[in-house]
Amino acid sequence: MIYFDRVTKVYSDSSVALQDVSFSIEPGEFISIVGHSGAGKTTLVKMLLAEERPTSGSVFFESMNVHEMHPRRMGDLRRKIGTVFQDFRLLPNRTAFENVAFAMEAAGRSEEEILSDVPHVLELVDLQDKMENFPDELSGGEQQRVAIARAIVNQPDVIVADEPTGNLDPVNTFEVVQILKKINDLGTTIMLTTHNKGVIDSLKKRVVTMDRGKVVRDDREGKYIL
């Protein structure tokens, strides 16, 4: 489904963010990308989302080179990939329901679909009783669960979660990881970046370890080893 083919990224100040990175992600897989800050994890995510271009190498999604897509096709790509970030990125003046509905509106979904699907995904993330709450009325963990609901409401093939537990305490971290596992069990591919050793060791899923822009380990049922 996803293939990084000898991807290198060198920025204008000559700093090397990625160096000859190659690995693939299969449909339905749960893969964690780990490494210290500056290892290249977020740059890898930006490559997949076509927010950055590689200096050399290619990134493929469903056999299509994401950096050679026609702009019209880019919208199709982004609908197939849901994103969750460390800082939640919720609209502060909209309720939990409205934040999730906004993603459906942007995708051109009907009002009938919105009224049907939004409560369902908020129930999936255990927030059915917080639909009318605004972000500042929710805990950090609840805000992140709204962000996850927003990411999955249009039924993407892949969820990219970039340090989604970075601002959370251990209890909320556990809850968010359990929800990601639940989504993966339903068939969605999960690509998680993190430097949280406890999260990785509890998952017992595939772990790709990065160090200074290079892939240094790829373990099918790995732990956080650096």
pLDDT in tens, 51-99: 999 999 999 999 899 999 888 788 788 889 999 998 999 999 999 999 9
- In 3-state terms, what secondary structure has residue 76? helix
Read off the pLDDT of residues 145-185 as tens digits, 9 standing for 90 and up.
999 999 999 999 999 999 999 889 999 999 999 999 999 99
pLDDT more than 90, % of the chain: 78
**What residues does 193 pair with on adjacent strands?**
33, 162
**Whether residue 225 has pLDDT greater than 90:** no
Per-residue pLDDT, 193: 94
Q: How far apart are CA 156 and CA 177, in angstroms?
A: 18
At 226, the pLDDT band (50, 70, 90 cuts) reads low
**Residue 137: which pLDDT band, with cuts at 50, 70 and 90?**
very high
For the cut 80, the answer to whether the pLDDT of residue 223 exceeds it is no
| CA dist 9 → 6, 42, 81, 135 (Å) | 10, 12, 22, 36
Domain boundaries of the chain, sorted by first residue? 2-219
> Residue 187 is encoded by which pair of tokens?
């068939």
Exposure b/e, 197-226, CB count within 10 A at least 16 = b = eebbeebebbbbbbeebebeeeeeebebee
- Identify the CATH assignment for 2-219 out of 1.20.1070.10, 3.20.20.70, 1.20.140.10, 3.40.50.300: 3.40.50.300
When the pLDDT of each residue in the chain is averaged and rounded to a whole number, the result is 92
**Which residue, 16, 19, 25, 15, is CA-closest to 6?**
19
- What is residue 135's predicted lDDT score, i.e. its pLDDT? 96
Give me the percent of the chain exceeding a pLDDT of 70: 99
Q: What is the pTM of this model?
A: 0.92
Chain length of the chain:
226
How open is the CA angle 31-163-201, to the nearest 5 degrees? Answer: 50
Residue 120 three-state SS: helix
pLDDT tens-place string over residues 117-135: 999 999 999 999 999 999 9
- Contact present, 32 and 203 (Cβ < 8 Å): yes
